[in-house]
């Protein structure tokens, strides 16, 4: 597993000094925020639909074993096969086995985060099978040998000229005088290159946004149509999905779809929402002959019944990272693993272990924006706080921080002393700040005052002001 | 222990219970069989004429186009006029659907017609829509021998012929139509506008891997 989360601080510093990344973040982020806001404003029932979405997911998680078994029965009824995979290794092997049985040399791929998580492409390549990413953003980062920096917009960190540079490098047949003046020119070039790949592939691998127990279907949601070409043209379709993707019925899925696209790209509905159920039927003129669903656990079942169970409701819409000020400052790569932003800061420690990822739950201002936009109402800051508690319990917190926290706790447990001390320090700070009412630098807070002044406290302590307000209210 | 038992066992350990008994599973089975609806937005709970108007408005908002025609006899004219107005080739691949076989294509001899699934070189496809969802301007295109999936994907221009009576309000009504008329086929595509990508600087560009143009020919057949 490639993970650079232990170097989060260095990563973040590098990201903030990366002019290209900062430009990309500044250009792209406002689009997401504005589009979601518009979509939500146009649907008066949106907040109620979030409750529905949360409830559907909670119901499913409480009966996950039942719905997964029902799903499998219905996949088999439709002529498909489910492959159960407890670990990433099992999932990689299952996919490779299916590809080998199909005598596959090239496979096309639709965007899938679980494929990134289990590092499927490396595994296929090592075994002589060439995986071709077909989502436009995934395609360029595959050429650049990078990881996605965002769960729905993998090339979020790139600017338009990066695309041109990469195409000139990788598409060796490209005439030197070919112009890429418009975004459309980039799109046309990628479309032409990938068309040939779609038609040549032996196996198509997609992810799944949902699995439907009622019908045994896997569902993909895309705008480009690449996922559909991936699963329609080759002889074999493999859908990769984690266990928590299952929902009971088409109606349940439909309710979740109503909040998914709006939260993700701010569309009312994505261009292609496609339900695949088994292989080609008698007399069908197209479609794959074989249909496989690789169902992966890889640590999810361990979250059930824990304080992190709520995280399994996630439908991967990316609203939390789009709205996160930390993500907005450092982008996705700095987080060091597959899942960035607030959802990653909760999920990554669950899947990769807290030892290597303890920086992530701390990479939050707890502003609460992520929770306020999450379509399935995951209490992300609360879950990050649980990780911080565990970090403290397991003595993973740095010594100085532990000492300071200990000191604060000692005071906080002695209210009278605490109030006296805060009163005294307010007074002292006011006095020391002089006429300007602010500090340009402070001992032990150098990092903080480097970027801004610290205003001196005004008025009394909270308790003093509360008491004064109550006195004023009484007749 | 099989991998399946391993996964299910681990789930049950997390949920702190063993496999559900028949009695415990019965209400869940019942829920799947009854597939209850949840909250449906009010916007599409309107009369049928208004649903059609909403459908057209939403397709247009998503960069598709719609033309309303009086009957099947008008379809060839509507299609060839559209292709001419967009400077598109008049070579079309048509779904082998009974409703499209009833279309008097010979009225427009300049249309070059082939029946079947789409190949990589077909510039324009014509397929028969199964239903359409007014709520978001979405076409429901289930696969069938007479409705090949490749027609929705490979050509640069996709044309969908649809009876106006098949426009419904919410997705749930479309699911019920599908359940009543044969159940879940291999593939059901919900299509909302032409293909697009925002992967380059999060700015929308039409015409990614799927069709660049999506045109709906809506045949008035409803009794209002
Ligand atoms: S945590 Fe919520 S907001 Fe973030 S990706 Fe998951 S569903 Fe979307």
> What three-state secondary structure class fits A180?
coil
Residue A414 tokens, joined: 């002695």
Q: What is the pLDDT of residue A432?
A: 81
Instruction: State the smallest CA–CA distance between residue B78 and chain A in angstroms.
Output: 24
What string of DSSP letters covers B83-132? HHHTT--SEEEE---HHHHTS-GGGSTT-EEEESS--TT--EEEEE--EE
Mean pLDDT over each residue of chain B, to the nearest integer: 96
Averaged pLDDT for residues B109-133: 96
Whether residue B179 is predicted with pLDDT greater than 50 in this model: the reply is yes
Domain made up of B41-219: CATH architecture? 3-Layer(aba) Sandwich (3.40)
Q: pTM for the full model?
A: 0.93
B197 → closest Cβ in A65, A213, A223: A223
The pLDDT score that the predictor gives to residue A172 is 83
Chain B contact set for A215 (CB, 8 A): 184
CB nearest B208 (choices: A187, A269, A273): A187
Test site for ligand 1: of A375, A377, A383, most ligand atoms within 8 A of the Cβ = A375
Per-residue pLDDT tens digits of chain A, which is 475 residues long: 789 999 999 999 999 999 999 999 999 889 999 999 999 999 999 999 999 999 999 999 999 999 999 999 999 999 999 999 999 999 999 999 999 999 999 999 999 999 999 999 999 999 999 999 999 999 999 999 999 999 999 999 999 889 988 998 888 888 888 888 888 888 888 898 899 999 999 999 999 999 999 999 999 999 999 999 999 999 999 999 999 999 999 999 999 999 999 999 999 999 999 999 999 999 999 999 999 999 999 999 999 999 999 999 999 999 999 999 999 999 999 999 999 999 999 999 999 999 999 999 999 999 999 999 999 999 999 999 999 999 988 888 888 888 888 888 888 899 888 888 888 888 888 888 877 778 887 777 777 777 788 888 877 788 888 888 889 888 6
Q: What is the pLDDT of residue B223?
A: 53
Kindly indicate whether the ipTM for this predicted assembly is greater than 0.85, answering yes or no: yes
Distance A436 CA to ligand 1 centre (A): 44
With CB atoms and an 8 Å threshold, state whether B7 touches A297. Answer: yes
- pLDDT at B34 > cutoff 70: yes
Question: If you measure from the C-alpha of residue A338 to the centroid of ligand 1, how many angstroms do you get, rounded to a whole number?
Answer: 14
Return the domain boundaries, chain A. Answer: 43-298, 399-473
Burial class (CB in 10 A: 0-12, 13-18, 19+), A396: middle
Query: Cβ of A189: how many Cβ atoms within 10 Å?
Result: 17
The predicted pLDDT at position B74 comes to: 97
Cα dihedral A196→A197→A199→A201 (10° resolution) = 160
CB A197 within 8 A of CB A134: yes
Where b means 16+ CB within 10 Å and e means fewer, B101-118 reads: eebebeebeebebeeebb
> Across the interface, which of B171, B189, B209 has its CB nearest the CB of A224?
B209
Question: How far apart are the C-alpha atoms of A361 and B209, rounded to whole Å?
Answer: 38
What are the structure tokens assigned to A390, written together? 């565990």
Q: How far apart are the C-alpha atoms of A228 and A210, rounded to whole Å?
A: 15
Interface contact B7-A249, CB threshold 8 A: no
Residues whose CB falls within 8 Å of the CB of residue B136, separated by 6 or more in sequence, listed in order: A268, A269, B58, B62, B192
How far apart (Å, rounded) are the C-alpha atoms in residues B32 and B27? 9
Q: Which of A401, A429, A313 is nearest to A64 (CA)?
A: A313
Rg (CA), chain A: 26
How far apart, in whole angstroms, are the C-alpha atoms of residue A413 and residue A415?
Answer: 6
Burial class (CB in 10 A: 0-12, 13-18, 19+), A165: middle
Residues of chain B with CATH 3.40.50.10420: 41-219
Tokens of A397: 């917190």
| Contact A280/B at CB under 8 A | yes
Q: Which residues line ligand 1 (CB under 6 A)?
A: A 263, 314-320, 343, 374-376, 378
Contact A199 B120 (CB under 8 A): yes
Q: Which residue of chain A is at minimal alpha-carbon distance from B59?
A: A271
Residue B169 Cα to ligand 1 middle (Å): 28
Check whether B224 has a pLDDT greater than 50.
no
**CB-based contact (8 Å) between A426 and chain B?**
no
CA–CA separation, B54 and B44 (whole Å): 8
Between chain A and chain B, how many beta carbons pairs sit less than 8 Å apart? 263
Task: Please report the pLDDT score of residue A138 as a whole number.
Answer: 92
What is the atom index within ligand 1 of the atom nearest the CA of A313?
7
Structure tokens of B115?
């029946």
CATH classification (class only), A43-298 = alpha beta
């Amino acid at each position: 597993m490639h993970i650079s989360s232990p170097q989060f601080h260095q990563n973040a510093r590098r990201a903030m000094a990366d002019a290209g990344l900062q430009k990309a973040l500044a250009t792209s982020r406002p689009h997401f925020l504005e589009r979601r806001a518009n979509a939500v404003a146009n649907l008066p029932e949106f907040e109620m639909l979030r409750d529905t979405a949360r409830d559907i997911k909670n119901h499913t998680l409480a009966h996950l074993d039942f719905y997964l078994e029902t799903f499998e029965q219905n996949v088999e009824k439709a002529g498909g096969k489910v492959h159960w995979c407890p670990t990433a290794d099992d999932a990689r092997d299952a996919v490779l086995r299916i590809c080998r049985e199909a005598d596959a040399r090239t496979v096309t791929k639709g965007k899938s985060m679980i494929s990134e998580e289990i590092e499927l492409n490396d595994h296929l390549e090592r075994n002589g099978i060439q995986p071709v990413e077909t989502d436009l953003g995934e395609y360029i980062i595959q050429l650049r040998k990078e990881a996605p920096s965002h769960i729905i917009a993998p090339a979020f960190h790139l600017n338009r000229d990066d695309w041109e540079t990469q195409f000139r490098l990788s598409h060796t047949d490209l005439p030197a005088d070919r112009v890429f003046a418009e975004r459309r020119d980039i799109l046309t070039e990628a479309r032409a290159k990938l068309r040939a790949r779609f038609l040549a592939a032996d196996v198509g691998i997609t992810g799944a946004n949902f699995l439907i127990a009622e019908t045994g279907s896997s569902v993909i949601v895309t705008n480009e149509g690449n996922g559909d070409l991936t699963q329609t043209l080759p002889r074999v379709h493999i859908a990769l999905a984690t266990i928590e993707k299952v929902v009971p019925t088409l109606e349940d899925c439909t309710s979740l779809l109503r909040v998914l696209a709006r939260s993700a790209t701010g569309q009312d509905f994505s261009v292609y929402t496609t339900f695949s159920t088994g292989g080609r039927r008698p007399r069908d003129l197209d479609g794959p002959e074989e249909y496989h669903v690789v169902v992966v656990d890889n640590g999810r079942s361990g979250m059930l019944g824990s304080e992190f169970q709520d995280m399994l409701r996630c439908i991967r819409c990316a609203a939390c990272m789009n709205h996160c000020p930390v993500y907005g400052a450092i982008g996705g790569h700095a987080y060091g693993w597959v899942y960035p932003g607030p959802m990653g800061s909760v999920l990554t420690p669950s899947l990769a272990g807290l030892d290597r990822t303890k920086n992530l739950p701390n990479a939050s201002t707890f502003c609460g924006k992520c929770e306020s936009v999450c379509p399935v109402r995951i209490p992300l800051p609360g879950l990050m706080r649980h990780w911080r508690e565990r970090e403290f319990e397991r003595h993973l917190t740095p010594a100085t921080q532990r000492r300071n926290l200990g000191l604060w706790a000692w005071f906080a447990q002695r209210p009278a002393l605490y109030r006296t001390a805060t009163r005294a320090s307010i007074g002292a700070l006011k006095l020391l700040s002089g006429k300007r009412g602010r500090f340009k630098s402070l001992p032990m807070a150098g990092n903080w005052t480097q970027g801004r002044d610290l205003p001196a406290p005004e008025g009394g302590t909270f308790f003093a002001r509360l008491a004064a307000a109550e006195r004023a209210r009484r007749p | 222990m099989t991998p399946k038992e391993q996964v299910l066992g681990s789930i049950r350990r997390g949920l702190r219970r063993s496999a559900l008994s028949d009695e415990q599973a019965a209400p869940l089975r019942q829920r799947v069989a009854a597939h209850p609806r949840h909250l449906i937005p009010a916007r599409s709970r309107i009369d049928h004429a208004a649903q059609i108007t909403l459908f057209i408005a939403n397709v247009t908002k998503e960069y598709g186009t719609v033309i309303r025609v009086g009957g099947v006899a008008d379809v060839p004219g509507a299609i060839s006029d559209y292709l001419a107005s967009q400077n598109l080739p008049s070579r079309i691949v048509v779904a082998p659907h009974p409703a499209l076989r009833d279309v008097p294509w010979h009225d427009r001899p300049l249309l070059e017609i082939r029946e079947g699934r789409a190949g990589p070189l077909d510039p324009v496809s014509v397929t028969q829509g199964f239903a359409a969802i007014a709520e978001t301007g979405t076409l429901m295109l289930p696969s069938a021998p007479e409705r090949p999936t490749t027609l929705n994907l490979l050509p640069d221009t996709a044309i969908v012929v649809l009876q106006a009576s098949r426009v419904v309000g919410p997705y749930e009504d479309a699911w019920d139509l599908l359940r009543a008329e044969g159940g879940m086929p291999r593939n059901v595509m919900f299509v909302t506008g032409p293909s697009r990508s925002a992967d380059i600087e999060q700015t929308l560009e039409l015409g990614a891997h799927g069709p660049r143009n999506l045109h709906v020919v809506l045949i008035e057949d409803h009794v209002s």
